[in-house]
Structure 1
Amino acid sequence: MLERLQYVKQRFDEISDLIIQPDVISDQKRYVQLTQEYKGLKDLMEKREELINLTANIEEANEIISDGSDAEMVEMAKMQLDEAKERMPQLDDEIKFLLIPKDEEDAKNVMVEIRAGTGGDEASIFAGDLFRMYTKYCESRNWRTSVVDISEGTSGGFKEVIFEVTGEDVYGTLKFEAGVHRVQRVPQTETQGRVHTSAATVMVLPEAEEFDVQIDMNDVRVDFFCSSGPGGQSVNTTKSAVRLTHIPTGLVAQCQDQKSQHKNKDKAFTVLRSRLYEKELAVKQAEDAVKRTSQVSSGDRSAKIRTYNYSQGRVTDHRIGLDVFDMDGVMNGKIQKFIDELQLVNNTEKLKESEVF
């Protein structure tokens, strides 16, 4: 293990030197990639240091026990040896998981798009519930959320809501939330107390930087229009809302959240870049899916991934068969258990495939 980590240390030392070089700092794309790699390797270096110390403690304890001349020292050495041997397997597993190659998109911020599906007004209300769930979760992680575009439902909630999430390792955390979320409950609009099934689709797009996706402005049609919905006196009076249409692909992005036309245009371009980037990423994920069948694939947006059964107070993730009986907690953003289990399954699959061990 230490021999393997020595190669990692050489790369860590190399990157440590590179990220302070002026020519690297001036190359934004390369600098961002190297700093992200540096951060990941830094965690490994801390584990390497702990492994070196544990190995030294075991050797020292064995020497004292072999000598046997001081009974008190031997007793302390045995305790030290037991502690080190207990920690070693855990540390070994932690290092193995850190050695699994990470997807380069995992460190990116994201655009989350929630759309009401089947179920009419109840689907829109459920989309609103999911939006609240995710914003509460992001708040618990100290991530910043910012609404980009909203289309409100006729009885509450949203037909569609798009929001940006910025923070640390956002895409790597939220990417498995993509898919169809289904709810089973008595709708607010139901008068006879019957349980209905409705759905909403969640898309999680890694936010693309300008250097990730090059957009030719000749390929983009820009339309300005009046905002709708909440927004004060400027609504329906000034053309501050912006709609972008990428002619080659037909992809459309719009933003009307800001009063400034310029800010709305910038946000709309961020959404457009992310959708174009996700389109390329979907092709890559499809190619990867040919090589392996992952039960927690983040690529299929039409897959039913989770059911929220209100009458039983149960939330079920169908990919890993996990039931959580805490509906109120989940809808208030307590979804970390699902995320932890999904990441564990995904990392275990990667570990089996890797040739590291």
Structure 2
Amino acid sequence: MSNKELETKIIDYLKKLEKNEIPSQISSKKKNLLLADKKEYEKLDQEQKDYQELSQEANQEEQNLFLTEIKELEEKKEQLINKIKEQLMEEEGTKQNIVLEIRPGTGGTEAGLFARDLYRMYYKFAESKGWKIEMVESKVDNEGNFTFVSFLVKGKEAFNWLRNEAGVHRVQRVPQTENKGRIHTSTASVVVLPEAQDVALNIRPQDLKIDTYSSGGPGGQHANKTASAVRITHIPTKIVATSQDGRDQRVNKERALFVLKTRLLEKLQTEKAKEVGSLRSSMIGTAERSEKIRTYNYPQNRITDHRLGISWNKLNFIMEGDLEELCQKLIDYEVEKKINLIEKKIREFQEGVDYVFAGETHKDSEKAPPIIIGDKEEKNSGYFVGYTLRSFDILSLRLKKALRETLAKQAEMLLSLDFQ
């Protein structure tokens, strides 16, 4: 899909959202921001059309002026569309900052070298964006290559730009230690964890075990007065986060708690995605992901993103942090996929309705219980109703109590249907 086609698709989606023709899966605040941007886009688009119409009857000098205005308006529209894309991809319950973790995979020493190269690539990209990088934890082998590295990326839209880096990265090149010039293949896995908002998590102080130790190796709690490294364990889930690269214990404690929250949020998101079978599960990075998302071919100076099916013959520049074009293509790809999914859900709803009783789906209306519109907890009523519930993950198998604008329309339609 071309940029122009995606642009049209996005605006069409926002028009449907404005008219309440589709179920809203976003907060009212986010919806209002999107619709305000849509209104601004339409204003710019109309101005552009007016100038194009005027230029047809203008003299050469006037045409040049109009063409300049048209070009400037096109640039403003493009900037606005990019802003809308970022808003569409923004996760509810997360902030903009992230924790990025890199682990060498297959390939031995060469995999450790590749992990180091990936860290450098992200570091350079972050610098170009004006983001701040803070090391959380790093482990190196005897040759100085990473066996693990975890670092914070703080800055505007860091999560949206880097969220699609999660997965297995593959490198093909001739190692420095290879005497016969043979190409070796190695891998490294990247995990992207968005910063969690405190309101999204309920962490009780009594559920945390905090240990301090010297950075040279783990020790007991308060092993010695100079211990600065911190390890925090969330007792209920047994999730552990450590930080040892900070200058003092306070800084390391803050960073370890930050990482712990992101890992807890990832766990919650993964569980939710599994529960509802959402497409979002494919966007949550985990170290166990086996699919290779990208190949870095050094002999041919080529990088290929397998999700996009696109290659760039400028690997040397990309490894120096020139990631913007690639990341933007991935954002466009995810926006298109998200809108296509919403349209698919709408079609499924229009084609049929399912009854749900005690967790079971019934196609036969005679066997199903009466329809209840509203939020009926299972423990109180034992039944609830949904329309293609398995598709609308935002409902989590029950209609929300407050049927906001869009859901109210769908509820009325549901009651008026003549079931066969």
CA distance in 1, matches of 2:77, 2:316: 36
Counterpart of 1:121 (choices 90, 109, 122) is: 109
Q: Does 1:104 align with 2:98?
A: no
CA distance in 1, matches of 2:216, 2:265: 28
Q: Does 1:137 align with 2:119?
A: no
CA distance in 2, matches of 1:270, 1:96: 29
CA 1:142–1:72 in structure 2 vs 1: closer, same or farther (change >3 Å)?
A: closer
CA distance in 2, matches of 1:259, 1:349: 43
The match for 2:40 is 46
Instruction: Spell out the pairing of 1:144-293 with structure 2 (5 A cutoff).
Output: 144-228=132-216, 238-286=226-274, 290=277, 292=279
Q: Does 1:325 align with 2:307?
A: no
Contact 1:246 1:252 in 2 (8 A): yes
Q: Does 1:347 align with 2:335?
A: yes
SS at match of 1:50: helix
Deviations 1:157-192 (A, max 9, x none): 211111111111111111110001111112233344
CA distance in 2, matches of 1:282, 1:40: 27
More helix by percentage? 1
Residues 105-114 or 321-330, more deviating: 105-114
SS at match of 2:199: coil
CA distance in 2, matches of 1:179, 1:139: 22
The match for 1:17 is none
Deviations 1:294-325 (A, max 9, x none): 9x745463321111111222111111111111
SS at match of 1:242: strand
CA distance in 2, matches of 1:96, 1:134: 21
CA distance in 2, matches of 1:96, 1:240: 43
CA distance in 1, matches of 2:45, 2:329: 26
Contact 1:129 1:331 in 2 (8 A): yes
CA distance in 2, matches of 1:328, 1:92: 28
Deviations 1:73-119 (A, max 9, x none): 9x979x979x97xx89x959976993884433575210000111111
**TM-score of the superposed pair, with normalisation by structure 1:** 0.73
SS at match of 1:207: strand
What is the deviation of 1:147? 0.7
Contact 1:316 1:323 in 2 (8 A): yes
Equivalent residue letter for 1:319: R
CA distance in 1, matches of 2:322, 2:79: 27
CA distance in 2, matches of 1:293, 1:252: 25
What is the deviation of 1:274? 0.4
CA distance in 2, matches of 1:41, 1:174: 25
CA distance in 1, matches of 2:251, 2:32: 33
Contact 2:273 2:280 in 1 (8 A): no
What is the deviation of 1:53? 3.8
**Runs of 5+ unmatched residues, structure 2:** 1-10, 19-26, 218-223, 348-420
What is the deviation of 1:39? 6.2
The match for 2:379 is none
What is the deviation of 1:134? 0.3
Equivalent residue letter for 1:159: T
Aligned pairs, how many?
314
The match for 2:383 is none
The match for 2:368 is none
**TM-score of the superposed pair, with normalisation by structure 2:** 0.63
CA distance in 2, matches of 1:256, 1:157: 18
CA distance in 2, matches of 1:245, 1:254: 9
What is the deviation of 1:284? 3.6
